[in-house]
Amino acid sequence: MAILDPDAVGLPIVVFASVKLTSHGADALEQFENAVLAFAEVTECYTVSGGMDFLLRVVTTSMRAYEAFLREQVLRMPGVSEVHSRFVVTQVKYTTALPVRHINTAQDDRRDG
């Protein structure tokens, strides 16, 4: 798997969409999660706390494409009551690296202890 520049492959629009469901039962959550897995536009999906239930990272070719995805896919899903979209203006930082410095510290502590 490669990490690609979204602009270079014609996907300049990045949207963080917060989704609220009408029900929080196990079936409703599973149905939403399974549907999201099929959407190529959704590159990340998280369950979140607070007023909304899910946070989606969506990449598309244009604002028009996002609107179509929202109207034709997300808003037609059973149980979706609200979607709040936030469009990325500038990406300040993006990394897939994890801050793993604590691993060496924990290993050193075990050796010293």
Burial pattern 37-61, b for ≥16 Cβ within 10 A else e, equals eeeebbeebeeeeeebbbbbebbbe
Return the CATH number of the domain spanning residue range 13-91: 3.30.70.920
Q: pLDDT value at position 109?
A: 64
pLDDT by 10s per residue, the chain, length 113: 678 888 899 999 999 999 999 999 999 999 999 999 999 999 999 999 999 999 999 999 999 999 999 999 999 999 999 999 999 999 999 988 999 988 876 566 666 66
Q: What is the pTM of this model?
A: 0.86
Closest alpha carbon to 83 in 30, 40, 42: 42
Q: pLDDT value at position 110?
A: 65
Q: How far is CA 98 from CA 15, 38, 103, in A?
A: 23, 27, 11
Q: Where are the domains of the chain?
A: 13-91
Find the length of the chain: 113
Q: pLDDT value at position 2?
A: 78
